Chain A
């Protein structure tokens, strides 16, 4: 095992963005914790294979992608949809008196954005989610994903264009193509 790394602290530090990667790769909110545990276990199990301790982030990223893939294999598509629907209902019913107009607008906007995201490849969705939820620079994205800055910029540009196309198809009244 790579003795020089404080794994507990390291995994805590990377937990949030790895959770975003898992979400982008189709892991439900309710299962993110469970899959993160698997990422942690796998990281500890294969720590010997990490040759460069400066590249922990891309190494964890690859483990997270693998764990997400394994998770999705375990779960049938139907079951995921049903769980998603049940959780959605709970969230809706527990919210306290939202502004009705805000609610109408927000629901519609969220629905369109969610649907548009599902039309992207998981790599594109993941990149956009990391960019906008973590507010990372191109350099930070590159460091975490283990690619070059110029690759991040090019991929981000393509992902945005695809997102815009998907949004325009889903809501042509609002977003003209």
Chain B
């Protein structure tokens, strides 16, 4: 039987539309199929989830336009469910930190959000500046900033994310962007909130030198508490 037929059969099973003999035949065949019971469970769970979410949908208004965060996810996140939570939390934190990262199509509308500072050319070499070059070149994660240059053109600058240890303390003193209630609520339910803060370095041109500043980007992990038992 083709996967397409299987899908239809399992959908009809979840819908309660199979005749008694069809249902009996399908259920009897599950042991002999690869992933038979799994497919069956997924069809039922999908129906259950859609039922719940669709009911919510018809009772709620449409969401606001989604702002896409154009930041790469860290490559060393643990298992999939936690990775998913981390994505959600990371996005929330990006909002909390006042980031404004726009999808490509919105580049034309950024004029209201850009400070009127002189922006260094991205191609310029950085003289006499003590930068942790190793971490710079080694990182795989980055965020993209869109800035307007003196000619009024929008420029994209890709900034690597750096570990806090690669920067001085003066750049890294900041309070957590996780709302206190959310943190306490999670902890009360047996979850720890781990934060990993990294920094996107920027440089302002001043006289003949470059003045560094950093933008903090937090990744937050919601993980089950795992404490040693003695």
**Chain A residues within CB distance 8 Å of chain B:** 19-20, 23-24, 28-30, 80-81, 83-85, 87-88, 91, 97, 99-101, 104-105, 107-111, 113-115, 117-118, 128-129, 131-133, 135, 137-138, 153, 156-157, 160-161, 163, 173-174
The tally of CB-CB contacts under 8 A between chains A and B is 111
Q: Given A100-B189, A129-B58, do A84 and B64 touch, yes or no (CB 8 Å)?
A: yes
CB-CB contacts below 8 Å: B15-40 with A? 15-17
What bracket does the count of chain B residues touching chain A fall in? 35 or more
Residues in B with CB closer than 8 Å to A157 are 7-8, 11
Question: A-B pairs with the 5 shortest C-beta distances?
Answer: A100-B185, A87-B61, A84-B62, A85-B64, A113-B53
Residues in A with CB closer than 8 Å to B85 are 101, 104-105
Mark contacts of B55-68 with chain A using CB atoms, 8 A cut-off: 1 yes-contact digit, 0 otherwise: 11111111111100
B95 interfacial contact with A, CB 8 Å: no
- Whose C-beta in chain B lies nearest to the C-beta of A28? B61
Q: Is the CB of A113 within 8 A of B11?
A: no
Residues in B with CB closer than 8 Å to A23 are 57-58
Q: Is the CB of B55 within 8 A of A30?
A: no
CB-CB contacts below 8 Å: B62-111 with A? 62-66, 80, 83-85, 87-89
B61, B64, B84 interface centre (most CB from chain A within 10 Å): B61
B222 interfacial contact with A, CB 8 Å: yes
The secondary-structure label for the interface of chain A is helix
Residues in A with CB closer than 8 Å to B65 are 81
